[in-house]
Structure 1
Amino acid sequence: MINIQTIYVRVRHWLFWYGVYGFCSKSRNDEITLYSDEDQTNFLGYFELTTVTSIINLLNYDMDIIGDDKDYCDEIESFIHGDEDIHYHYIYPRDLEDVSRQVPHSAPTNIDGYKPVYIDMWSKLSQSWDMDEIKKSVRIIARDFLGLNTENVEFIAIPTFEETKLSYEQDYKPYVNES
């Protein structure tokens, strides 16, 4: 395990920030990118964070539990009813183009020897994401996939309250007013 002073995290979606600033309920599913520098020149990894509440909703409302999505649904059910607090779901290359998109860090390989192109961390440790819960998850991911131990997790590209409010009003308020 290598000690690193700080890992920098960038949250991809505005929905996370809408929840942080109280414009809507807190996010339950977010994508993050990790860097070892604040300037974002040293990419460490890209991950999705999903709460158990989110995957339960996915299972109940968005999945074909007996058809094409059966294996994925079985994996979700196993996690929901199992003893693990964290589970990683991996998407592996589906074609030759995907092979070039394999994660650059440590990750389990599939039967063909390929690393995942996408990693989703399912978590029972939180019902929704706030900044502290994201930091806790980043530390776990850093340990599990990057072989890094860090105390400091810093957010980069944090929008201001005013920027977030403007984005929220442009993205969601028109739809709220229509209903």
Structure 2
Amino acid sequence: MNNIQTIYVQVRHSSFWYGVYGFCSKSRNDEITLYSDQDQNNFLGYFELTTAIALTNLLKYDIDIIGDDKEYCNEINRFINGEEDIYYSYTYPRDLEDVSSQVTHSAPTNIDGYKPIYIDMWSKLSQSWDLDEIKKSVRILAKDFLGLHTENIEFIEIPTFEETKVSYEQDYKPYVNEN
């Protein structure tokens, strides 16, 4: 296993920062991109992080998102009811156009020899995502898929409290009843 000084993490959704700054509850599902440099020139990987609570809520309240994908529902249920703390769900190329989107790092191949185009880490280690929980997950992902060992995880493009507050108010003000 290789050592790397620092992995830089970019969190995709504003909802993560809304939870970090206390404008709403902490998120339970986030997408992250990993880089080996702060300037984001050296892409390492892209992952989705999902807690078991989010998966339970998906099955319970958002079944219309999954549709009739019984195998995916069964996969979620096996994880939720199983003993594993971490599970990886893979989305493989659906057609030839998807083949060019395969991950570039280490990942299991499917029956056709293709790597996934998307990897979702399901976790029972965290109830929700905050900075420390994301760092813990990045260390696991770096080891499992990148063959890297690192202690230093840094976030990039961190919005300030004020920027986050303005964004939150813009995103949610239309949905708040003013009496």
TM-score, normalised to structure 1, is 0.96
Q: What is residue 98 of structure 2 aligned with on the other side?
A: 98
2: CA distance between counterparts of 1:128 and 1:67? 25
Partner of 1:108: 108
Match of 1:72 in 2: 72
Alpha carbons 1:2, 1:148 under 8 Å: kept: yes
CA distance in 2, matches of 1:67, 1:101: 24
* RMSD, aligned CA: 1.4
Segment of structure 1 superposing worse, 168-177 or 76-85: 168-177
CA distance in 2, matches of 1:46, 1:144: 13
Q: CA deviation at 1:10?
A: 0.2
Shift of residue 177, structure 1, vs aligned partner: 2.4
Q: Secondary structure at the match of 2:137?
A: helix
Runs of 4+ residues over 2 Å off in structure 1: none
| Aligned-pair CA distance for 1:61 | 1.6
Alpha-carbon shift at residue 67 of structure 1 (Å): 6.8
- The 3 A distance-change label for structure 1 pair 173 and 154 is same
Partners of 1:101 and 1:178 lie apart in 2 by 45
Per-residue deviation, 1:62: 1.8
Aligned amino acid, residue 91 of structure 2: I
TM-score (norm 2): 0.96
Q: Secondary structure of 1:177's match?
A: coil
Determine if contact 1:63/1:69 at 8 Å carries over to the other structure. no
| Matched residues, number | 178
Q: Which residue of 2 aligns with 1:5?
A: 5
**Percent identity of paired positions between Structure 1 and Structure 2:** 81
Kindly provide the amino acid, as one letter, of the partner of residue 147 in structure 1: G
